[in-house]
Amino acid sequence: MDYCLQTKRSRWRTIVRFFDTEDILGKLVLTSWEEVNPEVRNFIHHHLVKKQSKYCRGGFQYKDHSNLLSKKGDGVLETHNLLDEFGWSITGLEFNHSLLIWHIAADLLFHDDLRRYSAVVLCSHCQISKYLSDYMMYLLFVRPNMLPKGIGELRMKETRNEVIGLFKNKSLSSSELVNTLLNLDFRSEISSPQSPSESKSVIAEGWQLASMLRLLVENLLWDHSDKWEFIADMWMEIMAFAANKCEWREHKIQLKNGGELLTHVALLMAHFGLTEHIEITTDEEDNSKLLRFDNTHLGWDWDQLSHLPYYLA
């Protein structure tokens, strides 16, 4: 939202964009760097440990491994029996499209809860959700090569132009923009019989998702912290999917520039065997699990995973 407002306000950027066609400067202006706090690190680690334990319980079957890594939010929806209700925002959509929808919804909900119940926004899962949502959006803006291929840049431009068009005669702060969007009525667009990916604006889809998420508290008898825990789990699964799909050469490039959180997540996933870049095979002689990475066979001991540099050498 801040990026859309900046585009609307800054006249000088018309000149800059003549030379900076991808608006790299504009995106970097809104980028700030933060240390990953222990709460976020523990949340990420806990999620991946649970993911690995599911694989262990399945007896290390390849189909279980492949199924776990294919989840990009739909796994969390299945766990809560919400796939039928919310699956439209994940399944059948390009990854970047789904990412934008969930970011807009999370941003709308965050500011709505901040206005209504300020104490809720202070809960840990709310803060983690905001952190991961903003970070994944940063990757889409500034590091798109680290995400699954798609038309993310085009969809971002369309969304930005839509926001500018809605508020072209108004000067609003970021929070005012979000509050205004919450009060708009997109139901006519949502009821369109055409498919979401072709007819609906991403803003309308984000508004629809935010409205549905808000009703979870009432429909499932959740409190607001339950709602944010669910959203945080969604963002974690979305991030894990992206980390696994990112090619190692992209991680290598970012390590030269100081590293990205997504690379740390990918390395931790590889540490737990949760990656498509490692082939798990079975030794015919002793039936032990083997790890194949970069044409190197390594013994895989699930109880002693303490040599990450060795596994990835």
User: What are the DSSP calls for 249-263, one per residue?
Assistant: HHHHHHHHTT--HHH
Average pLDDT over residues 19-24: 47
Q: What would the pLDDT profile of 38-80 be if each residue is shown by its tens digit?
A: 999 999 999 999 988 887 776 666 677 788 899 999 999 999 9
pLDDT band at 172 (very low <50, low <70, confident <90, very high): low
Contact status, residue 114 vs residue 172, Cβ threshold 8 Å: no
Average pLDDT over residues 91-109: 93
* 156 Cβ contact list (under 8 Å, min separation 6): 100, 140, 141
Residue 202 has pLDDT above 80, yes or no: yes
Better-predicted residue by pLDDT, 195 or 107: 107
Residue 290 has pLDDT above 90, yes or no: no
pLDDT band at 294 (very low <50, low <70, confident <90, very high): very low
What does the longest C-alpha to C-alpha distance in the chain come to? 74
Structure tokens at 232: 């945080």
pLDDT at site 30: 57
- The secondary structure of the chain in percent helix, strand, coil, rounded to multiples of 5, reads 65, 5, 30
The sign one gets for the Cα dihedral 184, 185, 186, 189 is negative
Range in 26-30, 181-185, 273-277 the model is least confident about: 26-30
Average pLDDT over residues 119-128: 84
